[in-house]
Amino acid sequence: MASSDTNGHAGPSARRSEDVPKKMKALQYSKAETYAVVEIDIPEIGDDDVLVKISACGVCGTDLHYHKGEFLAKWPLIPGHEAAGTVAALGRNVTHLSLGDPVTADPLAPCTSCFHCTRNKPLLCTSLTAWGGNVPGGFAQYCAYPARQVHHTGSLPPLSAVLLEPAACALHGIERMALCPGDRVLLFGCGPTGLLLAQLIRLNGAAHLTIAAKSGPKMDLARKLGVADSYITVPDDADAAAAEMAALATANPHGFDVVVEATGAPSVLERSIEYNRSRDLAQ
């Protein structure tokens, strides 16, 4: 794991850009719901680490949980796990990157040796390292990562590169779905993850995609992207929503091959299985 101490520089053996300062600004939490912009030392890096100058960093629902002190939050905390930037310094052993390269970083590092890791369940790791959770993340001018976590982003602009982390999460979902050519898919929700899933579902062979979500900017964007074959607007009124979903079931009496729940709402998850053709799995 990238090291951090009070020396505030990139390390004596590191290759670094000439403009790397000794101090940086960061958004830092001292406890739940209490944060400030502070000036702190630049992270120290070791021989196998990379210092990234942050160009952009996304904000997602996980950050709201950290704001409340939930999940892996460890104080003091610098959030930010959807970061993109450029290489500012390299440890002596790093060979796959060069100074100035545009990059992003995988924000999770499992221990590889606990009960869950040895059973290929790294997300359940009991000693998970999470940048932006229990180690400093990308809500700062600079962030340090192990080189194995850092990946070249090519020609992607920073505001697009920050979506690589949520896109990777969506791709994991696609792998779990095991779509077959010709599948009919129902997707609940069209937030950022839902919209990423919708595009990947279509690219991975689904013959027909229906998106069901509430009206608003997210649904408007879903329609603008045009990735679905049909769109079901779910009203806020409970009775009207029930009628709309009943009509969906009537129009699809055999259900859908795959049902994807991307709202995070327990009530939607519970209802999703009703629309699955085999009635035994709601993805």
- The residues, ordered by sequence, that sit 6+ positions from 43 with a Cβ below 8 Å of its Cβ are 2, 3, 4, 51, 136, 142, 143, 144
- What is the C-alpha to C-alpha distance for residues 209 and 163, in angstroms, rounded to an integer? 22
**Torsion angle of alpha carbons 78, 14, 3, 109, nearest 10°?**
80
Q: Are residues 152 and 196 in the same domain?
A: no
Query: Which pLDDT score, from 0 to 100, does residue 279 have?
Result: 56
Angle at 195 between CA 145 and CA 260, to 5 degrees: 100
Residue 236: CATH number of its domain: 3.40.50.720
Q: Is the pLDDT of residue 7 over 50?
A: no
Q: Is the pLDDT of residue 30 over 90?
A: yes
Query: Which pLDDT score, from 0 to 100, does residue 10 have?
Result: 59
Tell me if 235 is assigned to some domain.
Answer: yes
Final residue in a domain of this structure, among 157, 183, 203: 157
Q: What is the pTM of this model?
A: 0.86
Final residue in a domain of this structure, among 137, 157, 177: 157
Final residue in a domain of this structure, among 132, 157, 182: 157
Q: Are residues 192 and 151 in the same domain?
A: no
Q: Is the pLDDT of residue 84 over 90?
A: yes
Query: Which pLDDT score, from 0 to 100, does residue 5 have?
Result: 39
- The residues, ordered by sequence, that sit 6+ positions from 62 with a Cβ below 8 Å of its Cβ are 71, 81, 133
Q: For 126-178, what is each residue's pLDDT tens digit?
A: 999 999 999 999 999 999 999 999 999 999 999 999 999 999 999 999 998 88
Across 62-81, average pLDDT? 94
Q: For 236-271, what is each residue's pLDDT tens digit?
A: 888 888 888 889 999 999 999 999 999 988 888 888
How large a percentage of the chain has pLDDT more than 90?
78
